[in-house]
Amino acid sequence: MRKVNVLNQVTDFDLRLLRIFKVVVESGGFSAAESTLGITKSAISQHMSDLEKRLGLRLCQRGRAGFSLTDEGAEVLQATNSLLLSIEDFRSEINQLNKQLKGVLNIGMVNNLVTQPQMLISQALSRLQEKSDGVKIDISMSTPSEITKGLFDGRLHVGVIPWTTSLSGLEYRLLYEERFNLYCSHDHPLAQHKGPIDRGMILEANAVVPNYPMTEQAVAMHKFLNCTATASDREGIAFLIMTGAYIGFLPTHYAANWLSKGEMQELDVGSQYFNTRLALVTRQGRRPNSVLESFLNFVDI
């Protein structure tokens, strides 16, 4: 029978080991975590062994097959996220008592927003840093579903996602509205075609469709396409368009660079476009957080 470990108290050393464990998981393994942690792979391995002995649990599999969490490891990771969030909440509340702006702001964003001409996020973060150098910004680029999950489980303070629907328990604020046009690469057969392009020609071309939730208008526009490939994000859509074998919708601000270089071409077929709203999202009933509230105040919505 396996000896059952009892964790009588959580020490500073335990917290350090748990933070290392969290970075290793987020990095995808020991080697990938070296640069983030600033320690060697062997030191990381020793720390992980120390944590497993301390908890009496096998947290991960590592070897030739790669790095993966055990079932116990996944539960410890969830508990670690909750613990570190509680510590951050405590620090935030104490900072509010001292009227100091200090702490971490965890932001989750869909990718390829940096070319958005309305730089509301960048401007707000700049003003936040000007107000206090005690604020650490942690931005992660992810899918809308992962960002929503992060808001609910407390890993993220705020998210920026397409506003396709409003989920109970979250607060949405309109941030941007993006226009999506239909594009192909410069060497796609439609770009080489002489004369007008009609809907029939569009329907015959292979197209890429996002596999994340879309607005009704976006879904309707994709019904006019022969969708034979999927992508999890805008960059994936752009990659497939640039192969010369697919057409697809992209935000106009994101496609502008390729258009200016003649590497992409807009397919202007009547009203073949749609608009999508982007929202700044936070969790309802969240605990007071002076860093988050300052950031939200700096975003001119």
Per-residue model confidence as pLDDT tens digits over 11-32: 888 889 999 999 999 888 888 8
Closest CA to 24 of 12, 39, 9: 39
> Predicted confidence band at 173 (pLDDT cuts at 50, 70, 90)?
very high
Mean pLDDT of the chain: 87
Closest CA to 160 of 206, 197, 106: 106
The mean per-residue pLDDT over the stretch 232-260 comes to 94
Secondary structure E strands in the chain? 60-61, 68-69, 103-109, 135-141, 158-162, 170-185, 206-210, 226-231, 248-251, 264-266, 273-283
Q: Give residue 169's pLDDT.
A: 93
The mean per-residue pLDDT over the stretch 265-294 comes to 88
Tokens of 19: 């933070």
Q: Give residue 29's pLDDT.
A: 87
Q: Which of 65-74, 206-215, 275-284 has the lowest mean pLDDT?
A: 65-74
Secondary structure E strands in 88-203? 103-109, 135-141, 158-162, 170-185
Are 186 and 264 in contact by the 8 Å Cβ rule? The answer is: yes
The mean per-residue pLDDT over the stretch 37-41 comes to 87
Are 51 and 79 in contact by the 8 Å Cβ rule? The answer is: no
Q: How large a percentage of the chain has pLDDT more than 90? A: 41
The mean per-residue pLDDT over the stretch 114-134 comes to 84
Tokens of 217: 């208008």
> What is the distance of C-alpha 89 from the center of its chain?
22
The mean per-residue pLDDT over the stretch 264-291 comes to 88
CA distance linking residue 125 with residue 299, whole number of Å: 9
> Predicted confidence band at 100 (pLDDT cuts at 50, 70, 90)?
low
> Predicted confidence band at 1 (pLDDT cuts at 50, 70, 90)?
very low
Q: Which of 117-126, 207-216, 243-252 has the lowest mean pLDDT?
A: 117-126
**Which domains are seen in the chain, by residue range?**
12-80 (1.10.10.10), 83-171+284-298 (3.40.190.10), 177-277 (3.40.190.290)
Q: Angle between the 144-153 and 71-98 helix axes, to the nearest 10 degrees?
A: 70
Q: Give residue 180's pLDDT.
A: 94
Q: Give residue 99's pLDDT.
A: 61
Q: Is the pLDDT of residue 2 over 70?
A: no
218-240 pLDDT per residue, tens: 999 999 899 999 998 889 999 99
41-98 pLDDT per residue, tens: 888 989 989 998 888 888 988 777 778 899 998 999 999 988 888 888 787 777 665 5
Q: Is the pLDDT of residue 301 over 60?
A: no
